[in-house]
Structure 1
Amino acid sequence: MNQPVQNMDSDDGIIHISQSRLIALQQDARLFRNKKARVRSHFNGGFLSAFKGRGMEYDESRPYQPGDDVRNMDWRVTARTNKPYSKVFREERERPVLLWVDFRSPMFFGTQQCFKSVLAAKVAALLAWKSSQQGDRLGALLFSEFQHLELRPKGGKSSALQLVKNLSEFSVQSTEQPHLADENKRDSRHALNRLLHVTRPGSLIYLISDFRNMSSQFESTLSRLSRHNELELIQLSDPLETQLPVDGYYRVTDGSTETEVNAFNKNSRLSYQQRFTQHQENLQTLCKKTGVRYLSLSTDQALLDGLMQGNTVKR
């Protein structure tokens, strides 16, 4: 019996990625154990909250008891009853998880297994499936120079499926956008401002990017977000960005401009390597300063191994 011939996209998973490939990462997500920080809650009860400031919402008011935090006084009820009352808070069952994913032009580069943009989509999809399996509410902010998409945190598998669809679309559409004049392009400031706007205290935020050409407000944004949320910065790179091959002239293009790199010159190779090393060290220093976890992943790494065994800077 003749079998139907399937159209195979040889670029799928390399320069862009299909929804079906991202859906298949559900299996890997079941094997992935993401790290959790535990910090003491500032609210009544003194229990340990799984995440700093995590999803504490008002439950009820009760008569004041010695030892209650005065910051939790319910002044409205106190004034109405002429007796001191304290607010009681309870921990939300579902934690908001936000994925901030960069699809700007520098992400559409790769010399090994895939583009950095494809790796970003895979990382985001795996984290999305893991969050869904843990019962967390999933949201995302996807952006490029040309487009911007926000998904507010929602529970259920449908939120992960919607995000996977959008990740696949961004991995394709960003390669098909016309070249815009610089004044018509959005830089990272817009995406950072939107992240500040949509984030609720107690969220877990993953920032997925190569962090090239970030705006001057990047450090202040990380600092503000980390005060009331858990953050993890996931830096993506390609081996050719870390070190030039020995001896040769190499043409490099971003699709619109082209340049030639001289790898015969030892000083040029060293300078090239030092620029990447300095960029990575600056990110690590910033993460330590702002209390953000750090992870680096390369396009030549196996996804699950890289996420579980990557180089982390702990809080």
Structure 2
Amino acid sequence: MADTVNEKQAFQSLLKKIRQIEIKSKKLSTDTFSGNYSSAFKGRGMSFKEVREYAAGDDVRFIDWNTSARFGHPFSKLFEEDRENTLMLLIDCSASNLIGTSHQTKQELITEISALVAFSAIKNNDKVGAIFFTDKIEKFIPPKKGKGHVLHIIAQMLTINPASKHTDIAAALQFLNQVVRNKAIVVLCSDFEDNDTYFKTLKAASYRHDCVGIQVYDAIEAELPKAGLIPFVDAESGELIWVDSANKDVQQNWKSSWQRDSLRISDTLKAARWDFIKFCTGDDYIKNLQSFFVNRIKRR
């Protein structure tokens, strides 16, 4: 009986979390944010809409000569953007994303960002799919439309129990290129706690897709607090180390090391023709994401 009660409470807690994320994401994905998404990620191209009589200012290259000859005066072809896109979320589920010292783990931040982008996508009638990965593919959700489908993806983000603790971004990208043949918007959310063997797969993905890399990190990873000896356990390897956070040299080396790693990640993605943005747990990711969209629109 106790197990049944606990299961019911766990299920109700899950529904509450999903509802909270849905409310927050739908509130944030306003017409303005949704419009920024639409402008930042163009459709797949132009498709023929109709023919109408030629009007002053029409591009002469689009005159329909067959129709014009038939009616004895010029007609123009009209085209419209083929707006429908597919958004693929690549979600890093490795153990290092469970870290969080600012009232939020990296995994929770990934979930909120992914939910916001996904709701913006379905507001534009795009399909949304997801690949959950560690150093293997943990789960693949094929792209579909609709709020219910996005809620299903969010539920998986909150409940997935990965079989592995480690990270292999290259394997996730290889799987993406196998299962998504047509051009898609690809958003990779990860802390990028991986080796440097994924450059070729990043580049291969960018030739086919419109790609954005989102790095999430925790404040303690970027800068040590002054708290004396601090035990750190590598979430993926289990290795325990003690760090003297009161030592100025240790603090500076820690900070410099993180900055080098972050710059290396940024340079690697940009060299592979990916857009790149990073978020810290506890920060206002909404403002930063909107700025990213606006800047992306200006560059296009």
- Distance in 2 (CA, whole Å) between partners of 1:56 and 1:227 is 20
Instruction: Please say if residues 173 and 205 of structure 2, whose CA atoms lie closer than 8 Å, have aligned partners that are also in contact.
Output: no
Which residue number corresponds to residue 260 of structure 1? 242
TM-score between both structures, scaled by the size of structure 1: 0.70
More helix by share: 2
- Residue 113 of structure 2: which of 108, 123, 129 is its match? 123
Aligned pairs (5 A) from 1:1-315: 18-24=17-23, 25-30=25-30, 32=33, 33-34=36-37, 36-37=39-40, 50-51=42-43, 54=44, 92-145=82-135, 148-170=138-160, 173-174=161-162, 187-214=168-195, 216=197, 218-246=198-226, 248-254=228-234, 256-309=238-291
- Distance in 2 (CA, whole Å) between partners of 1:99 and 1:208 is 7
Instruction: Please say if residues 110 and 238 of structure 1, whose CA atoms lie closer than 8 Å, have aligned partners that are also in contact.
Output: yes
Describe the shift of the 1:226–1:247 C-alpha distance in structure 2 as closer, same or farther (beyond 3 A): same
Which residue number corresponds to residue 47 of structure 1? none
Unaligned runs of 5+ in 1: 1-6, 39-49, 58-66, 68-88
- Distance in 1 (CA, whole Å) between partners of 2:293 and 2:252 is 23
- Distance in 2 (CA, whole Å) between partners of 1:93 and 1:143 is 29
Describe the shift of the 1:116–1:223 C-alpha distance in structure 2 as closer, same or farther (beyond 3 A): same
Which residue number corresponds to residue 67 of structure 2? none
How many Å apart are 1:275 and its aligned residue? 1.3
Equivalent pairs: percent with the same residue?
22
Describe the shift of the 1:189–1:149 C-alpha distance in structure 2 as closer, same or farther (beyond 3 A): same
Deviations 1:8-37 (A, max 9, x none): 99xx89xxx932222222211225333745
How many Å apart are 1:306 and its aligned residue? 3.2
- Distance in 2 (CA, whole Å) between partners of 1:231 and 1:109 is 26
Give the letter aligned to residue 246 of structure 1.
Answer: K
